[in-house]
């Protein structure tokens, strides 16, 4: 908790479920950015799901964060008073009818975004579309019933009713946040989704320029979550079900996040991705191509360069996975790979350096996998560690993630002269093998393997650890690559230009 409050700020950072409460790649990037521009006064708007999910700050707020506020989207779902029947504003509900029609026209229909923006506008405090009307009015009930009858392919009305309520309710909270936020000159979102919606709303209502930097692709990640999630029910019976069709509620959530993304893309300029594949993905999801470009991550070389001299002459047989113990990092594949590494190279160790509190049940699964594979001697869960302390003692940085953007840990390893073995996700191939011809000429700085393939991951690691010449070559390539393409000064210069341009568009805070 922080009580920093200010009258106005230069940049409002809208952050959803990340800095300063959660540690990880995006959070440390945000930390880097804030500290890089001490002259800019930042306001942070943190959005979370429920207050109890976020205990304490993982980062100390830099001094140039002058304002901090936090809001929880799923906190106040229950009414605190006895609700009464309401009529609702007929005009507002006419707008809703239009929106429903427009949404069924498909995403590319030009009018759809226009109606969507109008609806967003009316959700603000004092607008025609009030939260109470959505929750308790007769007209709202009728609309929900008729949409259920016309479109819902799931038999449960109760589930449909509550899905609709829970899905849309947080938007009113965001509309209130947007109207009460202190005056700022520029809004900067680190993702689409709810944060992006808030950014879009600020742009729409106050004309505040919106800068969007996406690390992962929010919509895609939500989609994957939703495909896998077990909490969304499918009440269709075996005769009603087409096995190739997702459950209706799943589709509802996916479309919801797709639209939130579109709304944000419509307001944001520029739309920044970390690397080309993600930029193309943004364009496919509705971003205007001319507003998009890439700014890769960069790291402070000065922190890591001195570590190179501390390294032993031969690479220590230690494979280190630096990352949170969460499913997306696929720690289990790393553990399984260690089974083979330990078979072939008996003294080898696998270290997992990262906090395990975020997903305790997954951490427990990993621990029990270690036991069931008999790897208690070979694998160590270190918890959160300072990267500088680890680097001189490890032989390889391993990344077994199933999804990444442009992982900082690979760059940090490179700066300390440690090659990497990584799965073929995000921009990892570009980081290991090089992007253009000049980059490729530096040689590979490690190995790339397919996801969820412990055998190949182990073989790739063994081929580097057992061959000091190849390891040295990879290490040299790593150092050369990070120095030429991925330093923080390059990143800061490019973001400086982005901010300057945005400030020019908005001379004063409003």
- In this complex, which beta carbon is closest to another protein, that of residue 75 or of residue 225? 225
Per the DSSP assignment, residues forming a β-bridge with 69 are: 45
- In this complex, which beta carbon is closest to another protein, that of residue 207 or of residue 374? 374
The DSSP H or E segment spanning 438 is helix 437-441
Long-range CB contact pairs, 22-26, < 8 A, 24+: 22/54, 22/58, 22/358, 23/58, 23/59, 23/324, 23/355, 23/384, 24/323, 24/324, 25/215, 25/405, 25/407, 25/408, 25/409, 26/190, 26/191, 26/215, 26/216
- In this complex, which beta carbon is closest to another protein, that of residue 203 or of residue 330? 330
Least Å from the CB of residue 374 to another protein: 8
Residue 254 buriedness (CB in 10 A; 0-12 / 13-18 / 19+): middle
Asked if omega into 20 is within 30° of 0 (cis), the reply is: yes
Contact residues for another protein, defined by CB under 8 A: 220, 223-224, 227-228, 239, 242-246, 327, 330, 332, 336, 339-340, 343, 365, 368-369, 372-374, 402-403, 424-425, 450-455, 458
Per the DSSP assignment, residues forming a β-bridge with 137 are: 86
Cα distance between residue 430 and residue 481, in whole Å = 11
- In this complex, which beta carbon is closest to another protein, that of residue 1 or of residue 238? 238
Least Å from the CB of residue 406 to another protein: 15
Least Å from the CB of residue 336 to another protein: 5
- In this complex, which beta carbon is closest to another protein, that of residue 60 or of residue 343? 343
- In this complex, which beta carbon is closest to another protein, that of residue 82 or of residue 361? 361
Least Å from the CB of residue 49 to another protein: 21
- In this complex, which beta carbon is closest to another protein, that of residue 118 or of residue 403? 403
CA distances, 507 to each of 199, 204, 205, 427, 504 (Å): 18, 17, 17, 36, 6
Cα distance between residue 464 and residue 1, in whole Å = 46
For 366, the token pair is 């990993």
- In this complex, which beta carbon is closest to another protein, that of residue 237 or of residue 309? 237
Least Å from the CB of residue 156 to another protein: 20
Least Å from the CB of residue 116 to another protein: 23
Least Å from the CB of residue 268 to another protein: 22
- In this complex, which beta carbon is closest to another protein, that of residue 2 or of residue 367? 367
Dihedrals phi, psi of 446, to nearest 5 degrees: 155, -150
The DSSP H or E segment spanning 379 is strand 379-381
Contact 307, 391 (CB under 8 A): yes
Least Å from the CB of residue 221 to another protein: 9
Cα distance between residue 145 and residue 484, in whole Å = 60
Least Å from the CB of residue 375 to another protein: 10
Name which of 268, 118, 261, 272 is nearest 202 in CA terms.
268
């Amino acid at each position: 908790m922080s009580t920093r409050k200010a009258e106005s700020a230069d940049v409002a950072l809208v952050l959803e479920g990340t800095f300063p409460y959660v540690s990880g790649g995006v959070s440390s990037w945000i930390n880097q950015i804030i500290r890089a521009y001490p002259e800019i006064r930042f306001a942070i708007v943190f959005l979370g799901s429920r207050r109890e999910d976020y205990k304490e700050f993982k980062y100390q707020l830099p001094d140039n964060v002058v304002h901090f506020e936090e809001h929880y989207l799923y906190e106040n779902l229950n009414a605190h008073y006895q609700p009464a029947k309401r009529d609702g504003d007929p005009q507002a509900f006419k707008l809703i009818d239009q929106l429903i029609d427009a949404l069924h026209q498909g995403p590319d229909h030009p009018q759809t975004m226009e109606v969507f923006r109008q609806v967003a506008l009316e959700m603000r405090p004092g607008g025609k579309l009030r939260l109470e009307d959505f929750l308790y009015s007769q007209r709202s009930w009728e609309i929900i019933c008729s949409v259920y009858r016309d479109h819902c392919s799931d038999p449960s009305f109760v589930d449909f009713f509550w899905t609709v309520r829970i899905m849309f309710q947080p938007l009113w909270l965001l509309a209130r946040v947007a109207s009460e936020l202190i005056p700022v000159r520029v809004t900067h979102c680190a993702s689409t989704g709810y944060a992006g919606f808030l950014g879009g709303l600020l742009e729409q209502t106050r004309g505040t320029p919106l800068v969007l930097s996406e690390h992962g692709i929010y919509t895609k990640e939500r989609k994957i979550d939703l495909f896998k999630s077990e909490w969304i029910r499918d009440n269709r019976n075996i005769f009603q079900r087409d096995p190739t069709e997702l459950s209706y509620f799943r589709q509802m959530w996916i479309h919801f996040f797709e639209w939130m993304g579109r709304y944000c893309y419509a307001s944001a300029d520029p739309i920044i991705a970390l690397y080309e594949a993600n930029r193309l993905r943004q364009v496919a999801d509705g971003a205007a191509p001319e507003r998009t470009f890439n700014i890769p991550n960069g790291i402070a070389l000065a922190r890591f360069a001195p570590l190179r001299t501390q390294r032993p002459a031969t690479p220590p047989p230690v494979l280190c996975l630096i990352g949170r113990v969460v499913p997306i990092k696929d720690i289990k594949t790393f553990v399984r790979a260690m089974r083979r590494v330990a078979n072939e190279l008996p003294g080898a160790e696998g270290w997992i350096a990262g906090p395990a509190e975020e997903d305790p049940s997954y951490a427990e699964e990993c621990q029990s996998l270690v036991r069931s594979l008999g790897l208690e001697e070979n694998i160590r869960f270190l918890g959160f560690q300072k990267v500088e302390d680890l680097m001189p003692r490890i032989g390889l940085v391993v990344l077994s993630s199933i999804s990444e953007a442009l992982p900082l840990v690979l760059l940090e390893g490179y700066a300390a002269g440690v090659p990497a073995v990584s799965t073929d996700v995000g921009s990892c191939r570009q980081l290991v093998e090089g992007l253009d011809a000049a980059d490729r000429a530096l040689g590979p700085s490690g190995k790339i393997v397919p996801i969820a393939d412990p055998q190949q991951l182990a073989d790739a690691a063994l081929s580097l650890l057992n061959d000091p010449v190849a390891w040295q070559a990879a290490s040299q390539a790593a150092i050369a690559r990070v120095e030429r393409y991925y330093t923080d000064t390059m990143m800061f210069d490019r973001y400086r230009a982005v901010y300057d341009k945005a400030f020019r568009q908005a001379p004063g805070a409003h």
